Amino acid sequence: MQKTDDMLVAEIKDGSLDAFDLLMKKYEEEVYRVAYGFARDTDSALDISQNVFIKVFENLNSFKGSSAFKTWLIRIAWNESMNWIKRNKRHQMHQELEATQISAVHKPDAEVEFTEDKVMLLRSLYDLNTRYRLAVVLRYFENYSLRDIGAILNCSEGVVKNMLFRSLQKMKQTLKTSEIGEIQ
Amino acid sequence: MRKKEIKKRIEQLLAGELNDTEVSQLRTELEAYPEYREIAELHAMLDRMENDAPEVSGEKFSRMRAEVLRAVRLRKNDTSSANQGSILEKIQLFLMRPEMAAAALTLIIGFFLGRVFPGSGDRLTGQFLSQINILASQNTQLNDVKNSPYTYSNISFREVDQNTVELSFDVSTHLNMVKTKNDPVVREVIAQALLNPSNVGSELKAISFSESIVDQRVKQALIFSMKNAPIVAVRQKAEETLLSYKEDPEIREAFLGVLREEESVQMRLTALEYLINNKIPPDSIRILVDRKHLQNSPAVLFRAKKYLENTF
* Tens digit of each residue's pLDDT (9 = 90 or more) over B35-63: 888 888 888 888 877 667 888 888 889 88
Q: Which residues contact B65 (CB under 8 A, 6 or more apart)?
A: A21, A24, A25, A28, A53
The answer to whether residue B114 is domain-embedded is: yes
Q: Give per-residue burial for B48-58: e unless 16+ CB within 10 Å, then b.
A: eeeeebeebee
B-chain residues within 8 Å CB-CB of A24?
65, 68
- What is the CATH number that goes with domain A107-184? 1.10.10.10
pLDDT surpasses 90 at B239: yes
Structural domain including B15 reads: 3-118
- What is the CATH number that goes with domain A1-88? 1.10.1740.10
> 3-state class of A41 per DSSP?
coil
* Tens digit of each residue's pLDDT (9 = 90 or more) over A30-87: 999 988 888 878 888 999 999 999 999 989 988 877 778 988 999 899 888 888 877 7
Sign of CA dihedral A51, A57, A58, A63: positive
Number of domain units in chain B: 1
- Region B89-109: mean pLDDT is 47
The pTM assigned to this predicted structure is 0.47
- CB-facing half-sphere around the CA of A95: CA atoms within 13 A: 9
B-chain residues within 8 Å CB-CB of A162?
11
| Angular region, A154: left φ>0, alpha ψ -120 to 50, beta rest | left
B-chain residues within 8 Å CB-CB of A57?
68, 72, 75
- Cβ-defined contact of B60 to A25 (cutoff 8 Å): no
A-chain residues within 8 Å CB-CB of B46?
121, 136, 140, 168
Strands B150-159, B165-173: pairing kind: antiparallel
pLDDT surpasses 70 at B210: yes
User: What confidence score (pLDDT) does residue B209 get?
Assistant: 83
Q: Which residues contact B55 (CB under 8 A, 6 or more apart)?
A: none
The answer, for A15 touching chain B at a CB cutoff of 8 Å, is yes
- Cβ-defined contact of A171 to B42 (cutoff 8 Å): yes
pLDDT surpasses 80 at B149: no
More confident residue, B257 or A94: B257
Our CA-based measurement puts residue A98 at a distance from the nearest CA of chain B, in whole angstroms, of 15
More confident residue, A178 or A120: A120
- Quick check: do A1-88 and A107-184 share a fold? no
Domain segments of chain A as ranges: 1-88, 107-184
CA proximity to A19, closest of B72, B273, B247, B215: B72
The answer to whether residue B87 is domain-embedded is: yes
CA proximity to A93, closest of A137, A39, A56, A143: A39
The answer, for B145 touching chain A at a CB cutoff of 8 Å, is no
- Region B140-144: mean pLDDT is 67
State how far the Cα of A173 lies from the Cα of A155, in Å rounded to an integer.
Answer: 25
pLDDT surpasses 80 at B91: no
- Percentage of chain B beyond pLDDT 70 is 80
Q: Give per-residue burial for B78-96: e unless 16+ CB within 10 Å, then b.
A: eebeeeeeeeeeeeeeeee
Q: Most B CBs within 10 Å: which of A13, A14, A16, A17, as the mutation test of the B interface?
A: A17
By CB atoms closer than 10 A (0-12, 13-18, 19+), residue B157 is exposed
Confidence of residue B28 (pLDDT cuts 50, 70, 90): confident
Strand partners, B173: B150
State how far the Cα of A172 lies from the Cα of A12, in Å rounded to an integer.
Answer: 45
User: What confidence score (pLDDT) does residue B120 get?
Assistant: 45
Minimum mean pLDDT range among A77-81, A145-149, A173-177, B110-114: B110-114
- Percentage of chain B beyond pLDDT 90 is 8
User: What confidence score (pLDDT) does residue B34 get?
Assistant: 83
Interface of B with A in 13-32 (CB under 8 A): 14-15
Our CA-based measurement puts residue B54 at a distance from the nearest CA of chain A, in whole angstroms, of 7
The answer to whether residue B55 is domain-embedded is: yes
